[in-house]
């Protein structure tokens, strides 16, 4: 199962990445924070409509959360 990266957008310490399976129209979406404390939300094997919806949601969240300190973002996203 080979994946091709089709979207990679960064917002300061946050990033949204979409990988597409070359054999099927299935997508993996990853929303991550690169600064300490790091975290990652990962959705695997999502169809095209779900991918578009999740990417839009995560882009908006990333744009809003980029202005907050990484520790506060970690607490808001993970709850710990």
- Cα first-last separation, the chain: 34
CA dist 69 and 74 (Å) reads 9
* Joined tokens for residue 37: 């404390």
Q: Are 38 and 32 in contact, with CB atoms under 8 Å apart?
A: yes
Give the total number of structural domains in the chain.
Answer: 1
- What is the model's pTM? 0.89
* Cα separations in angstroms, 25 against 1, 6, 33, 78: 12, 12, 27, 30
- Using one digit for the tens of pLDDT, what is the confidence trace for 14-73? 999 999 999 999 999 999 999 999 999 999 999 999 999 999 999 999 999 999 999 999
Q: 22: domain range? A: 3-78
């Amino acid at each position: 199962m080979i994946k091709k990266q089709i979207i990679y957008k960064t917002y300061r310490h946050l990033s949204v990445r979409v990988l597409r399976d070359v054999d099927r129209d299935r997508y993996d979406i990853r929303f991550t924070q690169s600064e300490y404390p790091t975290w990652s939300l990962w959705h695997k094997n999502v169809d095209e409509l779900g991918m578009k919806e999740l990417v839009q949601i995560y882009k908006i969240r990333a744009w809003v959360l980029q202005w907050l300190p990484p520790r506060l973002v970690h607490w808001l996203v993970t709850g710990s």
